[in-house]
């Protein structure tokens, strides 16, 4: 019984990792080479509805329309780069899962480093201020020291 349960858990975990393919049989091209090109292009284009999935993985209507558009352009004789350029001209660089490094996307590429650098600088200034405040603190008077010792002594078992 334990073996069967363990096997089911492993199978469920394995299936959870496998992405769902949204390409419908009616969308597929008859030519396997063209279909392979279409799948490769579809995996590099972002679903504008889901935003974190490729159009190859998304079930959204817009992703379906883009998959059909990619296949139509390939069937018409466009190269892979021409298809991608056509889609980018309509939807902008945001449609690419790996957008190019240019003036419009510089914050997208450098943003995480800027946030990390800002956080590190903020932490450095905070620690420096805390150390400076601790160094400038006045020592306890004799009366304060006795009261502190009494309080600490009262809390000990």
What sections of 18-105 are H helices per DSSP? 32-44, 61-75, 80-91
Residue 102 corresponds to which tokens in the numbers above? 């240019």
pLDDT of residue 125: 96
pLDDT of residue 16: 55
pLDDT of residue 18: 44
Positions in the chain short of pLDDT 70: 11-26, 154-157
Q: What is the largest CA-CA distance in the chain?
A: 91
pLDDT of residue 17: 47
pLDDT of residue 126: 96
pLDDT of residue 154: 62
For residue 75, the surrounding DSSP H or E stretch is helix 61-75
Task: Report CA 30 to chain centroid distance, whole Å.
Answer: 34
Residue 2 corresponds to which tokens in the numbers above? 């334990």
Query: What is the C-alpha end-to-end distance of the chain, expressed in Å?
Result: 51
pLDDT of residue 99: 84
pLDDT of residue 9: 77
Residue 109 corresponds to which tokens in the numbers above? 């590429």
pLDDT of residue 112: 92
- For residues 49 and 85, the answer to whether their CB atoms sit within 8 Å is no
Residue 92 corresponds to which tokens in the numbers above? 């902008």
């Amino acid at each position: 019984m334990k073996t069967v349960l363990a096997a089911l858990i492993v199978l469920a975990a394995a299936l959870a990792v496998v992405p769902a393919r949204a390409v419908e049989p009616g969308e597929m091209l008859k030519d396997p080479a063209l279909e392979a090109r279409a799948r490769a292009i579809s995996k590099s284009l972002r679903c504008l509805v889901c935003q974190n999935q490729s159009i190859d993985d998304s079930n959204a209507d817009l992703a379906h329309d883009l998959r059909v558009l990619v296949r139509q352009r390939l069937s018409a004789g466009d190269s892979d780069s021409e298809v991608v350029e056509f889609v980018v001209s309509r939807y902008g660089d945001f449609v690419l899962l790996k957008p190019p490094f240019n003036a419009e996307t510089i914050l997208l590429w450098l943003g995480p480093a800027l946030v990390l650098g800002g956080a590190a600088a903020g932490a450095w200034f905070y620690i420096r201020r805390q150390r400076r405040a601790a160094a400038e603190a006045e020592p306890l008077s004799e009366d304060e020291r006795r009261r502190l010792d009494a309080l600490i002594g009262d809390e000990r078992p």
